[in-house]
Structure 1
Amino acid sequence: MTRASFAADPAKTRGREFDENRDGTRGPRSEFQRDRDRIIHSIAFRRLKSKTQVFIAPDGDHFRTRLTHSLEVAQIGRVIARTLGLDEDLTEALCLAHDIGHPPFGHAGEMALSQATARHGGFDHNAQSLRTLMRLESPYCEHPGLNLTWDLLEGMAKHNGPIPADNWALEELDEAFDLELDRWPSLEAQVAAVADDIAYDNHDIDDGLRAGFLDLDQLLEMDFVADQWRDVERRFPNAPHDRKMRELVRGQIGLMVNDVLEHTRELTRDVSTIEEVRGAGRMLAGFSPAMAREERTLKKFMYDNLYYHEEQLATAERARDVVARLYAAYEQDESFLTDGWRETLPDAEPARTRHISDFIAGMTDRYAIDQFARIYGKRPEGLSNV
């Protein structure tokens, strides 16, 4: 595929926060390929395998985690980027890293950390992703962080658009390495954002059906889904029901991807450079207005019937309590912190609060449960409803 004139170019990256002296022994890779590889090899990325996507601490092996979700987002993002002539490596890296700042137990854990740290600036998972990549994940001798390209970091910071008001974490990082938070990001970052929507809109349906929280009759109340189901039944009348359900999900993903491709081509017809993308004043990669309406309907359905299901809310509240009590324990008695984190705990605020928050945010679901049991003498109950 020919590279589009408005694609991000690894040969023209704005560089890295810290200069690197390379001896050429680590292979002929582009700057964006190096970004992707650094993310994949990071401890923070590996921890995503045991962090909540939709279901907290699921007993089954077939439910998605943050890791499998990120891989699915990357697959969708690569297809869109390749077809549009964008940089596939940058898009993939953004997709793989987009959830790397999520704490244990997903949004329940984020709520607990936000409440615990409210006096000192709060907690935001997107800013924590940047903080993790730029400061906390530090495997190199020469510098803190993974030292990723400016292009990757600016896409991570504002993949959903400009940031009108910085939170404390983004403000600190932006002061160190200006990410131009008031401008629009590259098309690669915009594609990563819409790929995330496509993945979780449809794969969460798959998990919801598997767990018994959703059923087909509910889904068919939406015309968008009903049209897809009728097409599946027409093409595969004798197929087993479970295979037809998976075909439904695949068909919806394909429909959304094709819509994004068509609409993005239309919006970028007169765009020639990446600077025009950043100065466009709007998203150029995304759903058409008609598909956006269907997608909003689908999201509302998922919130009403899955994310805000009474059993899900009850489990999330128990998970929130686990994180809140972990924070309280570490705040009151620093001896509960593990080696490395205890020795480096700052004395003054807000650094002390943020250090504890960083420690908890990096935990997997399983590790948080183990730490809770170590501190309180018993394992928390009711954290899995599937």
Structure 2
Amino acid sequence: MTERAVKNFEVVVIGGGAAGLMCAIEAGKRGKTVLLLEKSDKVGKKILISGGGRCNFTNLFTAPDRYLSENKHFHKSAFKQYPQQRFIDLVEKYGIAYHEKKLGQLFCDNTASQITEMLLQECDAANVAVWCDAGADRIERHAPKGFSIRIGTEQVNASSVVIATGGLSIPKMGANDFAHRMASSFGLSLTPMKPGLVPFTFDVPDMQRFAGLSGVSADVIAKTGKTSFRENVLFTHRGVSGPAILQISSFWENGKAIHLDFLPDEDLLSQLKSQRQENPKGSVIKFMNRYLASRLVEKLLEKTPPLPEFGNCSDRLLSQVTAAIKDVSITPNGTEGYRKAEVTLGGVSTACLNSKTMETKEVPGLYFVGEAVDVTGFLGGYNFQWAWSSGYVAGQNV
């Protein structure tokens, strides 16, 4: 913790999460006097809880098409300047053991605290002043340039200010609308915001339909409109979650249906017809139990007509069984909201920012990075990589 008697800095970074830490480090490496402000008692709290405490710190397959934004090209420059391998190289430099879990997702072998410790060591090496329990209250711009930042009863001055306070997701970790309020106060536009990577909740009919399945998981293809994801679904006591649901939630529109295929690799109708020939005395239910949890099979087939032995099943009945397993339609009544959302969709409009620097076009010296900006990645380390890349880019230009 740097002595707070110092009041003048070239760069003040507000927010000690992934993007803010990266930005402060890179600015410090360039010889800038840098202050990093964090309103809670320690930096990187979201890093510490991510990935079940092991931090899914990036994804091998990071590419622009894995991100949602009003401008689908905006984030390309940041990833070109700081691709995922750059962060992997940093992790390896510190000897942090990691592994690929699946689908390119990289996790620490041990604990997420290794990532925060690494970043704090980098801050120290770059002479970054880190103040915790120091939340910014407001920012004022001075003519012709420069800013003052109010921190409780204190004030610091800076030539450049970077806002890296994130979005609205997980308020219990301290998330708030500071970035959005500051953007609005400087006349910047915001795109519509909603929770992303978030579980769905059910209305009464679907709650009754899937009653008793809480805790049951299955590999599915989840689809809405033209978008689909292959991952697990998990039934909860309020609806559905799991990676497939979190992914599709970012594309879901209120009132729209989600279609689930519970046997995505199987030509189920052909298999059922083969069983009718080969095992006419067999049970459809027992056959399905080979693939899916018995409780799930029972619920999915609950509304089909009574099922006789295979030999007595008509083509129509086998088609109904197939549809009941491979085209399950659910219509969520909403989501679990920001309290369980991993990210915030939308935010500071990319139209207001320079994609090469993250500086606002209308307010020289003011930058926005990370989740505060209207760039949202898929599940699986993509949002951390956006934080590293956007933070790096701002750090090179403040």
Return the TM-score normalized by structure 1: 0.26
User: Rg larger in 1 or in 2?
Assistant: 2
Whose relative contact order is higher, 1 or 2, with alpha carbons under 8 Å and at least 6 apart?
2
Higher strand share: 2
Higher helix share: 1
